[in-house]
Structure 1
C-alpha cells in the first residue's frame, strides 16, 4: 500500500468523524426550529436530492477535471459552507430554508467528492484488486468507527453545549481533509475520450457503459436492491424495537451499536472472504447472510427478543460491510480510467435512488401487513441478489472481466 494512501485514509477518517457529528446534530437543530414533520423531512432528504437532479452530470464533470484537485477544492468549499449554520446559530439567524439549502449544497459537494474519490483510488493503486480491497476495507472501517461510533454521541454532546459547535467541528474536519488531500501525489492524466456534443451526452456514455457490461451491472444492482430492502427495514426499525422487542430508547441505541460492531468486523474480514471464496461466490454468500439476518430480525420473539435481534443486526452489518468492500473494489478495477467518474456516479445514483422507494414500501407493508412484514419482504429482495451474483457476477465472469480489463490497460 503506497504511503499516499495513509493520507487519503486519514482524510476519510477525519471527514467521517465530522459527518457523524453533523448527522446527529442536524435533526436536533432542525427540531429546535420546527415540529412540522414535513419540514423535518425536507431537511433530512435535502442532501440526497442533488443525486437525483444531476448525479450523472457531476460524474461527467469529474471525468473532465483532475480528480485530486476536485476532492480538495470540494472539501474546502464544504468547510466554508458548514461555517454558515455555525455562524447563523451564534447570530440567531437559523431557519429551516437555510438548513435545507446548506444540506442540498453539501449533497452537491458529495457528488463531486465521491465521484472523484472513487476514480482517484484505482489510479493511485494501479487498479490492483487486492490493494483496492485492502484500501476499501480500511476506509470502511474508519468510516464505521468515526461516523457510527464516535461521531453521533459527540455530535449530541456538543449540541447540548451549544448549537453551533457540531457544525464548526464538521467544518474543521472538512478543512483538515482538504489539506491532507492537497498533499497527495498528482496522478498522470487519464486517457480522455473525445468530449461529446454536450455534457449530458457524456453522462449518458457512462450510464450506457454500465448497463452494457453484465458484471458491472450485476455489481451495481446488488446495492440498489439491497438499499431498497435496508431502507424498508430502517423506516420501521424504531417502531419494531419499541412495539415488538419492547425496547426503550437506550435499547434501540444498543441495537444500532450491534449493527455497527458487525459492520466493523465485516469490513476487516472482507478481503479474506474474497480470497477464500472468490469475489463472486463471496458476494453470493453475503447476500444469503443478509437475507437470513433480516428473517431472524423480523421473527425475533421470546422472553428476551432483543438478543436474537441484536445478533441478527450484527450479522446484517457484517455482511453489508463485506459487500460494500468487495463489490466496489471489483468495479474500480474494471472501469476504464476515462469513464470512472461517470460510471461511478451512475452506480451511486442507482443505489441512492432505490432507498426512498424502499422506505415507502417498508412503511406501506408495516401499515397493511404488520411490523414484521418489511423484514420478511426485504429478505426476499436480498435473496434475489444472490441470484444476481450467480448469474451476472460469478467468479468465472469476474475473472474473465478482470483479465480483459488488464489486457485493455496494457495496450
Structure 2
C-alpha cells in the first residue's frame, strides 16, 4: 500500500516541480515587477500560516485517503484553470495568486495527511526507509526533474507545463484510490459531526500535546533554525556566486545541482547512516556539519570548495530530516499526528519569513558573506541549546513511553 502512496506523491511532486520553473516564467509575461512576481511564492506559503491548523484537524478527523484525494483535486482544478487562462489569453496576476494560494492550501492538507498516514501503511522497522524514499522523491521531482521539464515545456507552449501538472495531480488521485480507506480516529469511530466547535477543540488538543512535549518543541526549534538559515543564506547564494566567486550563470546552476545531488544521496543513505549513530548523536552531528558547511560557504574559497560544501550540506540535511520525521511519527499518537504535525510545521515553516528578513538585513549591514556566517551560527546554537532535551538517553526514554502511551485523547506522555 505504501508504494501507491509513494507513487502518488511522486506524481504530485513532479507537478509541483514543473511549476517551480514555469510559474515565474508565466508571471514574467504579465509583469516585470519583481515584487509582484515574488508574491507568487508568498501566496503559496501563506496557507501554512493561516490554514495549517485546520488542515491538521481534518487530517485526523476524516478519512485520510479522501482528504489526500481532495487535496489533489484542488491542485488539479487550480492548474486546469491556469491552463484555460493561458489558452484564452485571460491571464492576470490576481489569477496567478489565487491559483497558487489554492495550491498552497492543498499542500497543507496533503502534507498533514501523508505524515500521519505513513506509519499506518508500513511497519515500525520500515518507517525510516519509507520516509527516506518520500524525502528523496521530493528532491528528485521538485529540484531535478520538474524545473527543467517545466522550462522546456514553457518554451514550447506556455500552457503545456500546467496541462502536464493537471495530469500529474489527476494521476495521484487515481493512485490514491487504489489504497484501502484510511482509518479514522480510534477515539471517535464515526468521525463525529464536522462543526467549527469540534474542529477548534481538535486543534486545541493537538496544540496542547505539542506544547507538553519538550522533545517536539526542541525538534521544531532545530528545524526552524535550519529553515531560517536556508532563507537567510541560500536566498542570497546568487549574489555570493556572482560577486564573491565570479561564476557564470551555468556555474551557479552547477552549485544548485550539487546541493540537490547531495540531498538525493543523503536520502538514499539515511537508513544506513542511522545505523551508525544513536538518534541524539545523529541530530547533533548532522546539524553541526550543516552549520559548518553554511558558514564555510561565506568564506567563498572557490567554486570547487563551494560545490563540495553545497553537496555536504544537502547530504546531512536530508539525513537528519528523514530521522527527525521518523522520530516525530514514533512519539506522537497516530490519531493526533495531523494536528500535532500542523503545529510543528507552522513553527518550522514560519521561520522562513523570519530568516529571509534577517538574512537581508545582515547582508545589507555587513555584506553577503556575513549572512552565511550568521546562518551557520544560528544552526549551531539551536542544536546545542536542544542538546539536553535531544540526548540519546532522553530520546530512548521518550520512545519507550510512547509505546506504552495512554489512549489518544489523553494527556501527552512526559518528554
Give yes or no for contact 2:63–2:183 (8 Å, CA) kept in 1: no
For 2:49 and 2:9, the matched residues in 1 are separated by 24
Matched, 1:220 2:234: no
1:329 pairs with 323, 326, 331, which one?
326
Structural mapping, 1:31-46, within 5 Å = 31-46=28-43
Under a length normalisation based on structure 1, what TM-score does the superposition of the two structures give? 0.95
Q: Give how far 1:13 is off.
A: 1.5
The residue number in structure 2 matching 1:151 is 146
The residue number in structure 2 matching 1:255 is 255
For 1:269 and 1:30, the matched residues in 2 are separated by 38
1:377 pairs with 355, 374, 379, which one?
374
Matched, 1:9 2:6: yes
The residue number in structure 1 matching 2:244 is 244
The residue number in structure 1 matching 2:348 is 351
Q: Give how far 1:410 is off.
A: 9.2
2:137 pairs with 142, 152, 155, which one?
142
Give yes or no for contact 1:245–1:306 (8 Å, CA) kept in 2: yes
User: Mean alpha-carbon deviation: is it higher for 382-391 or for 170-179?
Assistant: 382-391
Secondary structure in 2 aligned to 1:372?
A: helix
The total of aligned residue pairs comes to 403
Secondary structure in 2 aligned to 1:259?
A: helix
The residue number in structure 2 matching 1:184 is 179
The residue number in structure 1 matching 2:113 is 116
User: Mean alpha-carbon deviation: is it higher for 181-190 or for 344-353?
Assistant: 181-190
Matched, 1:20 2:9: no
Secondary structure in 2 aligned to 1:244?
A: helix
For 2:234 and 2:183, the matched residues in 1 are separated by 42
Give yes or no for contact 1:8–1:180 (8 Å, CA) kept in 2: yes
Give yes or no for contact 2:74–2:103 (8 Å, CA) kept in 1: no
Give yes or no for contact 1:86–1:167 (8 Å, CA) kept in 2: yes
Q: Give how far 1:155 is off.
A: 0.5
For 1:265 and 1:78, the matched residues in 2 are separated by 29
Q: Give how far 1:272 is off.
A: 1.7
Closer/same/farther in 2, CA of residues 219 and 164 from structure 1, 3 Å limit: same
Matched, 1:50 2:47: yes
Q: Give how far 1:116 is off.
A: 0.9
1:62 pairs with 59, 62, 72, which one?
59
Matched, 1:173 2:161: no
Q: Give how far 1:157 is off.
A: 0.5
Secondary structure in 2 aligned to 1:391?
A: coil
Q: Give how far 1:346 is off.
A: 0.8
For 2:141 and 2:330, the matched residues in 1 are separated by 27
Q: Give how far 1:403 is off.
A: 1.1
Q: Give how far 1:164 is off.
A: 0.5
Give yes or no for contact 2:231–2:355 (8 Å, CA) kept in 1: yes
For 1:125 and 1:251, the matched residues in 2 are separated by 41
Q: Give how far 1:197 is off.
A: 4.2
The residue number in structure 1 matching 2:365 is 368
For 1:38 and 1:24, the matched residues in 2 are separated by 17
Matched, 1:101 2:117: no
1:390 pairs with 381, 387, 390, which one?
387
The residue number in structure 2 matching 1:210 is 210
Secondary structure in 2 aligned to 1:33?
A: coil
Give yes or no for contact 1:285–1:386 (8 Å, CA) kept in 2: no
